[in-house]
Amino acid sequence: MEKRTFKDSIYTAIAGLAKAFGNANRLEILDLLANGEKTVEQVATQTAITVANASQHLQLLKNARLVKSRREGNFIFYTINGKQAYTAWKALRELALAAEPAVQVTLRQYRHEAGSPESLTLDSLPGNDRALLLDVRPTDEYASGSLPGAVSIPIGELPQRLGELPRHLTIITYCRGPFCTFADDAVQLLKANGFDAVRLEETYLDHRLHNDESWKN
Amino acid sequence: MEKRTFKDSIYTAIAGLAKAFGNANRLEILDLLANGEKTVEQVATQTAITVANASQHLQLLKNARLVKSRREGNFIFYTINGKQAYTAWKALRELALAAEPAVQVTLRQYRHEAGSPESLTLDSLPGNDRALLLDVRPTDEYASGSLPGAVSIPIGELPQRLGELPRHLTIITYCRGPFCTFADDAVQLLKANGFDAVRLEETYLDHRLHNDESWKN
DNA sequence: AATCTATTCAATGATTTGTTTGAATACTTG
DNA sequence: CAAGTATTCAAACAAATCATTGAATAGATT
């Protein structure tokens, strides 16, 4: 094989993979599917695109091996495909967070307006006697994996279930990732009700990356 | 700020960054610039594209903050811009190596034809008494950083300088990255001249990622 | 078998991307 | 300041990408 042919086909193949990341809707889908499996319609609804469009993006992602699917009756459930797919998405995300002013500014502004300007990181987490870890994602996502010690109250049920939360602890909320707004909503609601609340920057996925030995394929 | 607006602008910005990776020529350029600074013309020559085309890709990469430039007289030198840019490229590359059959097959076939089908990894490296580490990149790239203990003989000079190499040691060659062919050429030449030679999978950059505290920006 | 539902397919037009070509610009050297 | 070199710019066309629309398919339910 010619050197030039070799390099061209290698780099073209990798560029094809990168192109799968090169669309806003697909990134949002990927972020969603990293937290658990979803049907095409769920994906479409939650990312605010049409079903046909979601289907097409999902197939492109599947061809790129970034997601996988399983059929259950009429429904087809899609999930992220393995650790490396998430690692690559995370590396891209962190690059953007570190170096892309547009991302930094938008995130800071949104969090500020949402009344959740500060956030904690996992290594600066207070002990169990000082804080309670609250997972505000939908229950199925919590069930498919969560941070150790976290309690689950989906954001939609939180207003009715405030009574379940201790008032002498700091409530530390988390959700799907840095661009998920559930945790911000939760902080806002909790603060409005007199709780001490703050958003956690990390999510279950970051924990899974280091601790889930089964996430190999 | 509306939730939808927030997510759209965040994901659009990150997708824009991903698009910078979504072109074969740009990936090859990035791989090249990760090993040291190069002028536009050098980039063009080594990646087999026109100067104008290289210039345009370089500017796009610069806008995406993946590379940076410095002027010296008539020349403008481009380099990769910091650790995170390389980390993201590496994550993408590893994802492709792990999951993209086209990449796996092409790489295996090329190495096979080039007479360099096996390779070592850093953690399986023999001791100094058994092996010699040979950096076959151009001298300026070696000068800008190399694996500890490595000896430099650029691939172009290797035929004339075989006499400098010890015949009782295994010669372990490395170059710019997994898709650089210098090390394969070196292995072929060395074997043809009776040496025991094998290609190293890792490069200086992988070492730098973990050991160069100055690679922060 | 007929109907219903979730998903995919196919075609369309608007937009973006990539390369080439030749001219323009920025800096250096004589 | 004129000539030379490296790089960038601008225009142009081909090709790829994206969202939308409406029809087609696969499986479940009746």
**Token pair listed for A86:** 């998430």
**Token pair listed for A55:** 């289907």
- pLDDT bin (cut points 50, 70, 90) of residue B216 is low
Identify whether the C-beta of residue B181 lies closer than 8 Å to the C-beta of residue A2.
no
Query: Separation of CA B26 and C1' D13 in angstroms?
Result: 22
Name, in order, each residue with C-beta under 8 angstroms of B143's C-beta and a sequence gap of 6 or more.
none
Which backbone phi and psi does A130 adopt, to 5 degrees? -110, -25
Which backbone phi and psi does A202 adopt, to 5 degrees? -80, 170
Q: Report whether pLDDT(B63) > 90.
A: yes
Task: Tell me the ipTM for this assembly.
Answer: 0.92
How many angstroms separate the CA atoms of B206 and B87, rounded?
Answer: 9
Please indicate whether residue A180 is annotated as part of the active site.
no
Could you tell me what percent of chain B has a pLDDT over 70?
99
How many angstroms separate the CA atoms of A15 and A5, rounded?
Answer: 15
Identify whether the C-beta of residue A200 lies closer than 8 Å to the C-beta of residue A180.
no
How many angstroms separate the CA atoms of A187 and A170, rounded?
Answer: 11
Q: Report whether pLDDT(B217) > 70.
A: no
A window 21-50: Cβ near strand D (< 7 A): 22-25, 49-50
Interface test with A, best of B26, B63, B81, B95 (most A CBs within 10 A): B95
Query: So what's the pLDDT on residue B183?
Result: 95
Please report residues of A whose CB lies closer than 8 A to that of B28. Answer: 7, 11
Does residue B100 sit at the A interface (CB-CB below 8 Å)? Answer: yes
Write out pLDDT tens, residues B91-142: 999 999 998 999 999 999 999 999 888 888 888 888 777 899 999 999 999 9
CA B64 to chain A, closest CA, distance in angstroms equals 8
Query: So what's the pLDDT on residue A216?
Result: 62
A window 158-197: Cβ near strand D (< 7 A): none
Task: Set out the domains of chain A in order of their start, with CATH numbers.
Answer: 3-84 (1.10.10.10), 115-211 (3.40.250.10)
**Token pair listed for B4:** 């939808």
How many angstroms separate the CA atoms of B217 and A204, rounded?
Answer: 28
pLDDT, chain B, mean? 92
